[in-house]
Amino acid sequence: MTTEPSLWERSRQAAYAEITSVAWRLFLEQGFEQTTIDQIVATAGISRRSFFRYFGTKEDIVLGDLANQGVLVQEALEAIPLSVGPWEALRAALYAVDALEVEAGITLKIAKMMYETPSLRSRSIEKHLHWQSLLAPNIRTRLGIEADQDDPAADAIVASAIACLDVAGELWTRGQGILRLADLYDQAVRAVRTPL
């Protein structure tokens, strides 16, 4: 049985959504770097202190969902039978959370902002390192690697898959969202997996 969120939780979620919406509008109108936290709080009608209850940094507004998506990918990966190979399982997990199916429009604007803003790129890399820590244990199990073994294979596969996703995302963005992200990801993975 699922319990309904409390009034406090619903209020918190509504405030989070409102601050995020205001910030996104400002980011898309005037650019990420040109938008200040002071502008966000003034437009949202909250204090700086309230802002920092919800977000550690301005970058977290853009990339907060990326961290949450890592948990969703982990859950999807764990639902895939261990008989499925590591690369195939990672791809299926990414598909399960719609990480490989995106449409242009607002997503393209967000992606451009992320790839063109150094502070967002570096925070994105931090979030992807978190993904690696979430996904590598499952891949170790798929490869039959004991937890105490010094074997880089699982971490290397996960890091490569994440890098392929990032490269595909950047190409998708530069191409104005015309090509399918999933196809670009598959091409990147083939390049990594093909022996020289």
Sorted by where each starts, the structural domains of the chain and their CATH numbers stand as 7-54 (1.10.10.60), 59-193 (1.10.357.10)
Q: 77 pLDDT band (50/70/90 cuts)? A: very high
pLDDT of residue 195: 78
Angle subtended at Cα 86 by Cα 115 and Cα 127, rounded to the nearest 5 degrees: 30
Per-residue pLDDT, averaged over 111-139, amounts to 89
Handedness of CA 175, 176, 179, 184 (dihedral sign): positive
Q: Is 40 within 8 Å of 26 (Cβ atoms)?
A: yes
- Measured CA to CA, the distance from residue 127 to residue 93 in angstroms comes to 17
pLDDT of residue 75: 94
Q: Is 132 helix (H, G, I), strand (E, B) or coil?
A: helix
Min mean pLDDT across 8-17, 18-27, 43-52 is at: 8-17
Average pLDDT, the chain: 88
DSSP code at position 104: S
Whole-model pTM?
Answer: 0.79
Q: Is 139 within 8 Å of 90 (Cβ atoms)?
A: yes
pLDDT > 70: what percent of the chain?
A: 95
CB atoms within 10 A of CB 183: 13
Per-residue pLDDT, averaged over 165-169, amounts to 92
Cα Rg of the chain, angstroms: 19
Per-residue pLDDT, averaged over 145-164, amounts to 91
- Measured CA to CA, the distance from residue 158 to residue 162 in angstroms comes to 6
pLDDT of residue 1: 55
